[in-house]
Every structure is written in structure tokens, then in C-alpha cells.
Structure 1
Amino acid sequence: MADTASATRAGTLRLARPGPTALVAAGFVLVQLLLVSPRMGLGWDEIVYVSQVDEHAPAAFFSAPRARGVTLLVAPIASWSDSVALLRVYLAVLAGLGLYLALRAWRGLFPERVLAAAGALFATLWVTLFYGPQAMPNHWVALGALSCAGCLLRARADRHDRAALWGVAASAALMALMRPADAVWVTVPLLVLALAVRRWRLLAALLGGLAAGAADWVIEARVSHGGLGERLDEASRIQGGLGWNVAVGDQLRGLAGRTLCRPCTGELPHPVITLWWLALPLLAGFALWTAVRARRTERTLVPLVCACTAAFPYLFMIGYAAPRFLLPAYALVAIPVADALWHLARGPHGTPRPLVTALVLVAVAGHLGVQFLIARHVAERSEGDRRDWARTAGELHRLGVRPPCLLTGHQAIPLAHYTGCASANTHGHNANTTDADVLRTARRIPVATLSRPGGPPPGYARSWPEHRFGGFDVRVAPAVREDTAG
């Protein structure tokens, strides 16, 4: 009896011990919070998403390309608390949990060690670490893409795996809820595969998930944008017009820590920064070669093709770059690349290769060092930018621009959030009002307009008193006098 009880306890301990993928996910949560301060204020795009459910600040203009997925994601916190730290911790934990679940979708297709290595490679990219705890959609599209491809391969291998079938639908819905266009690009190869092998339940799960996730975006297009075609046209215009445009060099420039490269000019980063990016195709090719030799081509080829279709519009169809756009491609390619690294470190029969293993470890260690340095640099720069916004908001308060109030012009959306005002624009991508409406509003509440130093103010504000601070020319409607500050 004692032996049986001891064996039971030992078995329970073995079951409770976290596996390598769980440890990677937990480490991801910790490193996010160490490199990106939970106290870092909200960025421009985050403000748009969070303000839709934030009762403490007016909702910012929601432009055509955006989808409501991130707003739903942050609603459990942002709908009742304005604590940025709480929101960041919540998102970091969710990002780690999401990574763990996405890697679990591949269990049985690759060894656990490969999945853990893939998770570590993806989680330690500076762009993953920086955007994981942020209210942004790209990380979630990446996790949805990784999970969707894994679940589809599992469902294809086992017709009775209902959990995998539901995983396909849920993952497709998550991607479409976050960024409908990205979801389509990611799932094109999966749809083709389901059609080619005549797996109609798989096809239905994919299409059903995409439809469920994109339903809100399509309905909103009809209600607020004049129809789906009109919203797609408007979204294309805001992104500079989609068409053939080689942006590979732009993405390379972004690897040095430029969160938005628009326009994307300047020298390419040092080769130490870009080497990993250039090595990806070589490692992916090696992974495919080893998979063909081992007669398991499909499980390697599918994520690679999905990574290519996910990256294609951002490498060849858009006139600017943001590193976060390629997160889905990085997540998908991580598993084949991790598999390739394991094969490099071991011989054909699994025998260790000490010299090759040492070289791989040195290369990976150097890569991680570069990624962590860039992540911290980007985080510190972003924290500084947001402190500047807070200081500018303090100056606006000194001039009497306090809630309820309205800001228009250059960077009106983020500055309005930090000031506690509503934001509006009469032109540009975020145009949602007219000159006449701004003047009518100025008769009721404080209104200020911001422009770049030396830039011309809007016509309705040319006679307003001018002030300069925080890198802005600020004109305040004359109904608000400086001596009202107090």
C-alpha cells in the first residue's frame, strides 16, 4: 500500500511539473515586464483601441483599417480601470498564455524540444517582447496563425480530433477579429490544402472561423463606411494605396528599432542586427530539405507557405514598414527554423555534434543579446515620448484646456488622451469633423489646435493666441484665457 501511494504521488508530481513550452511561456511573461515597463504610457494606436471602452476618456476616431478585436481584448480591464500598469501586466500574462496554447497546438507534430525552442526564438525577438504587453493586434494574429496551422495539420492527420477542428475555427476567428486582411493572407494556403484533400469539415471550420471573426468588421463597413468595398478602398488609401511596392529594404531598416518607418529612409542597420533576418530563408530551406528526406514534408511546408503569404503584402504591396507587421510570419517560421537548428546540432542518427552545437549556441546567444538591447532601447525611447506627451498635456492644462475640451491638429489623438480631451481632425486619415463644427465647439468648451513648429495653423485658428511648447505650435480658442489656469 505504501509503495502504491508513493508511486501515485510520484506520478502526480511528474504530471504537475511544467514542461519546456510552459517554462518558455512563463519566461516570456517575465522578460516582457522586465524590458518594457508596465508603467509605460499608452501609444497612439493603443489609445485608439483602449479609448473605445475607457470610461475615463473620450473615444478616439476609429479609422477604416482598424478592427475591434483589441478593444474586446482590453475591455475586461480598460472598461473599469485607467491603470496602465494593470493593463500591461494583464496583456503580458495573456500573451504568455496565448504563446503556450499556440505551441500546444503542434504537439504530436514536432518533438517538445523543437516546440520549446521555436517558442523561445519567437518570444525573444525585440518586436515580440515590445508588443506583447501592448494593446495592439499583430501579436494576436501571430498566435492565431501559429495555432491555426498546427490545429489544421492535426485535424488532417486524425479525422476524429474534434479539439483540433474547433481549434482551427477559433484560431481563424481570432485572426479575423484582430486584422481581417491578415487573416485572409495567412489562411489562403490552408484553404487551398483543405480543398485539395477534400476535407470539407476542415474547410467549413476555416471559413466559419473567418466569417465569425470578421462579421463585426463587415457589418461596421456597411453601417459606417457605405459598404465593404468602400471600407476596403478607404483602408487602402489610408495605407498609402496597396499595389506592387518592394518594401524589403524598409523592413530591414525597421529591424534596428524603428517602430514605424514612414517614410523609410536612411542607411541600412549594421549587419549584426540584420543577420538573423537574412538567415531565416536559409534555415527555412534547410528545414524543408530535412523534412523531405524524413518524409514529413507537409508539417514543415505548411507553416513555411503560410509565413510567405502572411509576409507578402508587407514586403511587396505597401509603401512603408513596421516590424510588427511581420510577427505572424515570424511565429509560423519559428517551428521549422527551430527544427533546422536541432538537426544542425545532431547528426543523421541523433548523435551530438559538439562543434556545430557550440557554434549554434554562440550564434543564438549573440542574437539574443542584440534583441534584448534593441527591445530596451525601443522601450526607453517610447517611454520618453509618452512622458513628453504628458508634459505637453500639463502645459495645456496650465492654459485652461481641461476636460471637457477638444484638441485638433498634429498628434491630436495621443495628446487629447493625455490631456483628457476629445480629439478631432478636419483633414487627413483621421478626418471626422469640419471647420464649422470646431468653431461651434469652441463656443462651449476649451479648444486648442496643434501644429508642427513653423507649420501653418488651420484656417479657423489663425487668429487664436499662439503658444510654443513641447515641440508644437499651439493655438487656443480665445474663449479660454491663460488667467483661468489655477
Structure 2
Amino acid sequence: MTQGAGAPPTVTRRPEQRSRPGSPRRLHGAWPLAALAAVFTVAQLVLVRPVLGLGWDEIVYTSQVTTHHPAAFFSAPRSRGVSFLVAPVASWSDSTALLRVYLAVLSGLGLFLALRVWRGLFPTRVLVVAGAFFASLWVTLFYGPQAMPNYWVAIGALVAVGAYLRHRDDPAARGPLWAVVAGAALMAWMRPTDAVWVSLPLLVLAAVGRRPRFLAATVGGLLAGGVPWVIEAYVAFGGLSERLAEASRIQGGLGLHMAVDDQLRSLGGRALCRPCTGSMPHPVITLWWFVLPLLAVLGLVVAVRAGRALRTAVPLACAATAAVPYLFTIEYAAPRFLQPAYALLAIPVADALWYLVTAPRGKWRPAVRTVVALGLAGHLVVQLTVLVHTVDRSTAGREDWARTADGLHRLGVDPPCLITGHESIPIGYYTGCSSGATTGNNENITVAGILSTAKERPVAEITRTGSLPPRYARSWPVHRVEDYDIRIAPGSVDAPRG
């Protein structure tokens, strides 16, 4: 049929086309995320500093792949993911500074890739603010360049959740499914139990929504990252149930415990709050923790009104399940435990912040923008203040271990050697010795084993000054080094050096 003379021209509407991954439009849109990741990397190197010595947990993970230090005892709750992550550097170099730079660059790259998965789900400006909020938390800056698992669980969570939402928008695309596999595997590789908690809402949605491909991708990723941990359970711990039981014992017995107040106490910069006693930090330090869920709820309201509720509800649900075990099942706290929850909450929080600065009309807009700006500036000041305090305190503690190691060397305790007693794992690492414990969570040797070792190599028992040593070491000659009493097994070392 011919078109009438007065009729408007017929327009054929084509479906909206996505930009190809390598198109100039997509590359241009990724630049703000790349710039954010670069700033995050530089901030770690400037504020945390590559010269920061290795901490206790870092020593356990790193020593598994080094050739220049004996491997420390590897307890049941730990997973090998961090050890493999640091292996490209730690396997051939003993430079802590090089390892810090490597991890800072890697963490910046991880943040960029994780946020890039969310492109198209939220405007780039929202993703930049979300990334900036998460990256500016003192706990993120402090642990980004460290050999610890929680930041990487957070990155895996961002990838997996964002990829699920992309898959839901385009079920035929294969890229999001592979991203789900990668995100789930990264989480399970680092901390298998955390990976399961984060993935619970995704697994439920996949089952209810009858999405077998997504369900297979999620389960496949969890298995790919978690199977090595399960295999090790049978090889080294007698089975999976035995390893889980031992992990629960080491963590004080998992069950129904209120740890919300413990997490609040840790916000002042306590790397490990166990036992978590003492007064709460100043309210200025903890205020952001109470504002965070309010902004997240506002982000959900904004999303519902905009007709994209699921894009906000899913990360909120995964953030909630990620936080549950660390708020309600253990009797201690560490701020790094909640990093996956913070990363997922950052998306709706950023959406809410943009709403606050753009939605109000008339005379309210300048007032609201001023409040938001002042709030963000104050938040950044608080986070940087806590970070500086935490870095200084951590540096002092690790320098104390290094000075103690120098004192041990002057006493003739040189590798190969064995350190037992108080803080034997970090002091042993800094001294270049093996570490041993006859009791406690790191029990890995008997008294007979210690005495037998003393016949072949230097053995030193370390206690805090004035503390009672174990019975087997009470007759050993005692030396004062820093705040420690060091007892060296008779005949196990040559004459001390001056």
C-alpha cells in the first residue's frame, strides 16, 4: 500500500544496540573507572607505604610459597588463595616493598575490572562514586596492598553480582556467565565459606527464576575455587566435617553470637578485636556505619521508583548475607571481615547520593548539596585519620618483631632454627626460623619434638617479660630483648655475638 500524501513518513525503529566491547564509546566510558583505580593504587602506596612489614596473617599466607623462609603453620579456617596470589613475587623475592607494590597495582586493577562489570547497569558517575566510597574506607586502603583474602572476596562479590544482573538483562550473552564463574571462583579461592554466604541470594534467584545456565555457572565457580580447600581437608585434617569443626573451634565456636558491638569497637583501627573489650570509638568514627544502611535503603527506594528495583535489591541482599556470619555467629571482630558487604553496599549508596544532589528542587537543592558535600568531606577526614593511626601502630609492632629478630641473631639464633612461645609465628618469620606451638590454635609440635630439635639446631622460647615460661624451658638461660624474655636451649647455639 502506498503512503498517503499527507501522512507522516514511516519510521522503522531498531532495537537499541549495545556498543561493542572495544568500541570508542565503551573505551571512553571506562576512563573514569580507570582513573579511579589509578588514584586508589597511588593512595595505597603513599598512605600505607611499601615499607610496612608483613603482619601475622600475611606471614602465614606468604611463607607457604617462599623459598627464603620456613612455612608457618596453616590452620583449618585458612585457604590457599592468598598464597597463590602472592606467589608470582614471593616465590623468588624476599622484598616486602616489591610485594606491596605488586599487590597495590593488582588491587587497583581488580577494582577497575569489578566496576566495569556494572557498566550499563548504572550510570558511570554512580559507579565512580561507589568505587570512590569503597576505596576511601580506611579498611580498604589498609588491606589493599596486603596479602589478605577479604578484599579479594569483595572484588569477586562485585564481579559475580554484577554479572548476574547483566545475564538477567541478556540471557543469551556468554560473557556475563563466564564473569559469574570468575567472581564465584575468586571468592571461594580466597574464603570458601564467605563465598557461599555471598552467593546464597544468587543461588535462590537462579533456582526460583529457573535459570539453569546461571545456576551452573555459580555452582561451577564455587566448586572451582573451593574444591582445593575440600581436598586439603581430607589430606591434612581428616575430612571435610573435621576441618569445619576445627575451623569453628579456632574461631571460638560458631553459633548465635552478637558481634555488632565488636565490629563497632574495631572501627577505630583495631586489626583484630579478640577479645573485643574496651570502650567504643568516638561517635564521629562510627557515625558512617549507621548512615550506610540508611543510604542503602534510600538507594532501594530510588530504584523502585525508577523501575529497576532488582538491580539494587540483589547487591543489598548479597551484602546482608555476606555480613551475617560476622555480625551474628562469632564472638570477635575484625573490620576487614565486612569488606564484601561494604563493596556491595557501595552501589546503592552511590545511587542514593546522586539522588540527593540532583532530585531536590528550588531552595532545597543548594542546602542538600552542601550537607552531602560536608558529610563526604568529614567522612574522608575520619577515614584517613584512622588509616594513619592504624598504619603507624602496625608499623611500630612489626618493627618490634624485626628488632627482636636482630636480638635473636646477636644471641646466635640463626637459621635453621626454631622459635616457640609468644608470637612465635611473626618473630620466627622475621628471624628466618620455623615456629612451633605445643598448645593453642597453632599447635604443631610436641614438647618432645622441641627438645629433640634443640639437639640439632638453635631453639628459643619467647615470653613477655615477667611471664612464666613453659615447664620445659624454665631452666634455660634467659636474655632480655625488647619486651621479651628469650630462653635459649642450652648447647643449641654458639657463643652470642657482641
Q: Give 1:60-79 correspondences, 5 Å limit.
A: 60-79=72-91
* 2-structure distance, mates of 1:300, 1:12: 28
What letter is aligned with 1:116?
Answer: V
State the shift of 1:483 in Å. 2.5
Q: Which of residues 362, 386, 405 in structure 1 aligns to 2:374?
A: 362
Q: Which residue of 2 aligns with 1:236?
A: 248
Alpha-carbon spacing, 1:128–1:15, altered in 2? closer, same or farther (3 Å): closer
* 2-structure distance, mates of 1:457, 1:397: 21
Deviation track 1:215-235 (CA, whole Å, cap 9, x = no partner) reads 110000001000000000000
Q: Does 1:34 find its partner at 2:46? A: yes
Q: Which residue of 2 aligns with 1:252?
A: 264
State the shift of 1:19 in Å. 2.0
Q: Which residue of 1 aligns with 2:184?
A: 172
Q: Does 1:194 find its partner at 2:170? A: no
Q: Which of residues 316, 319, 330 in structure 2 aligns to 1:307?
A: 319
Q: Which residue of 1 aligns with 2:417?
A: 405
Alpha-carbon spacing, 1:110–1:26, altered in 2? closer, same or farther (3 Å): same
Q: Contact conserved, 1:346 with 1:352, CA < 8 A, in 2?
A: no
Q: Which residue of 2 aligns with 1:444?
A: 456
* SS at 1:265 equivalent: coil
* SS at 1:474 equivalent: strand
Q: Does 1:105 find its partner at 2:117? A: yes
What letter is aligned with 1:281?
Answer: P
* SS at 1:407 equivalent: strand
Q: Which residue of 2 aligns with 1:7?
A: none
User: Greater CA deviation, 229-238 or 472-481?
Assistant: 472-481
Q: Contact conserved, 1:169 with 1:205, CA < 8 A, in 2?
A: yes
Q: Contact conserved, 2:420 with 2:435, CA < 8 A, in 1?
A: yes
Q: Which residue of 1 aligns with 2:483?
A: 471
Alpha-carbon spacing, 1:156–1:349, altered in 2? closer, same or farther (3 Å): farther
User: Greater CA deviation, 260-269 or 318-327?
Assistant: 260-269
* 2-structure distance, mates of 1:86, 1:482: 34
State the shift of 1:176 in Å. 0.2
State the shift of 1:352 in Å. 9.5
Q: Give 1:284-303 correspondences, 5 Å limit.
A: 284-303=296-315
Deviation track 1:446-486 (CA, whole Å, cap 9, x = no partner) reads 00011222222122212111122222221100114573426
Structure 1 gaps of 5+ residues are 1-10
Q: TM-score, normalised by structure 2?
A: 0.93
How many positions carry a matched residue from both structures?
A: 476
Q: Which residue of 1 aligns with 2:398?
A: 386
Q: TM-score, normalised by structure 1?
A: 0.95
Q: Which residue of 1 aligns with 2:174?
A: 162
Q: Which residue of 2 aligns with 1:54?
A: 66
Q: Give 1:320-359 correspondences, 5 Å limit.
A: 320-347=332-359, 353-359=365-371
Q: Contact conserved, 1:218 with 1:228, CA < 8 A, in 2?
A: yes
* SS at 1:41 equivalent: coil
What letter is aligned with 1:158?
Answer: D
* SS at 1:483 equivalent: coil
State the shift of 1:357 in Å. 1.4
What letter is aligned with 1:48?
Answer: V
Q: Contact conserved, 1:442 with 1:477, CA < 8 A, in 2?
A: yes
* 1-structure distance, mates of 2:173, 2:468: 63
* SS at 2:235 equivalent: helix
Q: Contact conserved, 1:40 with 1:85, CA < 8 A, in 2?
A: yes
Q: Which residue of 2 aligns with 1:96?
A: 108
What letter is aligned with 1:478?
Answer: P
Q: Which residue of 1 aligns with 2:138?
A: 126
* 2-structure distance, mates of 1:321, 1:15: 41
State the shift of 1:351 in Å. 12
Alpha-carbon spacing, 1:350–1:450, altered in 2? closer, same or farther (3 Å): farther
* 1-structure distance, mates of 2:66, 2:409: 21
CA RMSD, Structure 1 to Structure 2 (Å): 1.7
* SS at 2:118 equivalent: coil
Structure 2 gaps of 5+ residues are 1-22
Alpha-carbon spacing, 1:140–1:471, altered in 2? closer, same or farther (3 Å): same
Q: Contact conserved, 1:400 with 1:480, CA < 8 A, in 2?
A: no
Q: Which residue of 1 aligns with 2:231?
A: 219
What letter is aligned with 2:342?
Answer: Y
Deviation track 1:279-336 (CA, whole Å, cap 9, x = no partner) reads 0111111111111111111000000010000001101110000000000000000000
Moved over 4 A (4+): 11-18, 348-352
* 2-structure distance, mates of 1:177, 1:84: 23
What letter is aligned with 1:254?
Answer: S
Q: Contact conserved, 1:287 with 1:340, CA < 8 A, in 2?
A: yes
* SS at 2:495 equivalent: helix
Q: Contact conserved, 1:252 with 1:268, CA < 8 A, in 2?
A: yes
Deviation track 1:105-124 (CA, whole Å, cap 9, x = no partner) reads 11111000000000000000
Q: Contact conserved, 2:458 with 2:493, CA < 8 A, in 1?
A: no
Give the percent of matched residue pairs that are identical in Structure 1 and Structure 2. 64
Alpha-carbon spacing, 1:16–1:189, altered in 2? closer, same or farther (3 Å): closer
Q: Which residue of 1 aligns with 2:384?
A: 372
Q: Contact conserved, 2:295 with 2:349, CA < 8 A, in 1?
A: yes
State the shift of 1:14 in Å. 9.8
